[in-house]
Amino acid sequence: MRDDNKKSVIVGIFTLVGIIILVAGIMTLGAQRQAFTNTFKLRAVFDDVSGLQTGNNVWFSGVKIGTVRRINFYGDSQVEIEMNIDAKTREFIRKDSKATISSDGLIGNRIIVIYGGTTQAPPIEDQDRLQAVMPLDTDKMMETLQENNRNLVSITNDLKHLTGRITEGEGIIGAVLTDTAIAENFRHMLSNLESTTINANRMTANLSRFSSNLNREGTLLDQLVTDTTVFRSLRATAEGLENTTKEASEAVSNFNVASEKLKSTDNALGMMLNDEEFASYIRSTMNNLESGSERLDENLRALQDSWLLRRYFRRQAREEAQQD
């Protein structure tokens, strides 16, 4: 009888443990699928779910807020995802939020990620459909990565070949790095460049001092820039010089006109300078005057010797002698 009781107790213990395990499993599964929480449903339509399965998690701002309830085909070749979302998060998800497919870690399970949304949009409601954003295609990413790897290998080989040629002294860079004469010339060039820079700095300093002296109060440049009296005087001088230039131009013009008139024979001076006949007439007239004056002198000497006027000339000579 005691053995039967012991067996009954053992069976009861195992039965109780089984029931506890069953209840714990049911509670765990219910918690994962949010079977015992107040939820609402959201939908999103994707072209490709990328291995997403029923029961995968839904995340919002890094927090798990629900699970994937159902996956159905939609339209021609699309897939509709139905999600159970915790009702406590409804006020934080907006109608303009977006849904995309991501992964839990680098190689973890696929998950739905809800993001975005603005406060200007109203909160989400039950059975609303979110805008779906297709995730990056992993296969395409791998193809791009492989292509980049091939390019990197090619670049590495080219770089290896280039550095080898430089080490052997080929090309300009190799010659600069290996040829001591070129290196010495380069050092001389840098030294000359440094000297040129020092001279340029010194010249700049001298120009700065010169400009500061020019701008110093009391100098000519300062007066020209700041003294209105000097400016007015210079302007008056410039205006006077301009007037003088105009008068000189007019005088030159008048002189040109006069010289042109002198070249013509329609005036006295022009005739004297340009008319040969008139010039011959003037010369003959001068010759006649000269000969006439000579005859007049002879006549006067003859009169002095004549007995009629001899007494007059003698008296005039005595008067002139007495005055001396």
| Range in 54-58, 196-200, 296-300 with the lowest mean pLDDT | 296-300
Q: How far is CA 80 from the centre of its chain?
A: 53
Give the pLDDT score at 289: 76
pLDDT for res 274: 65
Residues 184-211 pLDDT 10s: 777 788 888 888 888 888 888 888 777 7
Long-range contact set of residues 73-78: C-beta below 8 Å, sequence gap at least 24:
74/45, 75/45, 77/47, 78/45, 78/46, 78/47
Is pLDDT at 47 greater than 80 in this prediction? yes
Q: Give me the percent of the chain exceeding a pLDDT of 70.
A: 69
Mean pLDDT across the chain, nearest whole number? 77
pLDDT given at position 98: 92
pLDDT score at 44: 93
DSSP string over 226-250: H-HHHHHHHHHHHHHHHHHHHHHHH
Q: Who wins on pLDDT, 180 or 268?
A: 180
Q: For residue 249, give both structure tokens.
A: 């131009």
Q: Is the pLDDT confidence value at 150 over 60?
A: yes
Strands 128-133 and 39-46: parallel
Q: What is the pLDDT of residue 265?
A: 64
* Bridge partners, 128 (sequence order): 42
| Phi-psi category of residue 96: left, alpha or beta, with phi > 0 → left and psi -120 to 50 → alpha | alpha
Report whether pLDDT(137) > 60: yes
- Tell me the helix, strand and coil percentages in the chain, rounded to 5: 65, 15, 20
Summarize pLDDT for 81-135 with one digit per residue, the tens. 999 999 888 889 999 999 999 888 766 788 999 998 888 999 999 989 999 998 7
Look up residue 305 and give its two tokens.
């010797």
| pLDDT higher than threshold 90 for residue 219 | no
Residue 288: which pLDDT band, with cuts at 50, 70 and 90? confident
CA-based end-to-end distance of the chain: 207
pLDDT of 29 reads 63
- pLDDT (0 to 100) of residue 228: 66
Q: Are 33 and 119 in contact (CB under 8 A)?
A: no
- Residues 278, 272: contact at Cβ < 8 Å? yes
The answer for residues whose C-beta is within 8 angstroms of residue 38's C-beta and 6 or more apart is 86, 87, 88
Task: Say what the pTM is.
Answer: 0.39
CB 93 within 8 A of CB 60: yes
- The kind and range of the H/E element at 126 are none
How far apart are the C-alpha atoms of 286 and 288, rounded to whole Å?
5
Alpha helices in 215-309 (DSSP H): 220-226, 228-263, 268-274, 276-305
CATH architecture assigned to 38-135: Beta Barrel (2.40)
Q: Quick check: 32 pLDDT over 60?
A: no
* 131 or 270, which is more confident: 131
Interatomic CA distance for residues 11 and 158, integer angstroms:
77
> Tokens 């006109």 sit at which residue?
257
Give the residue extent of every domain in the chain. Answer: 1-32, 38-135, 215-289
- For 151-170, write each residue's pLDDT tens digit: 888 898 888 877 777 777 66
pLDDT value at residue 60: 92
Separation of alpha carbons 115 and 101, rounded Å: 11
Residue with tokens 């195992």: 14
134 backbone φψ class: left, alpha, beta (φ>0; ψ -120 to 50)? beta
- Per-residue pLDDT of 170-183, as tens digits, reads 666 666 666 677 67
pLDDT score of 263? 63
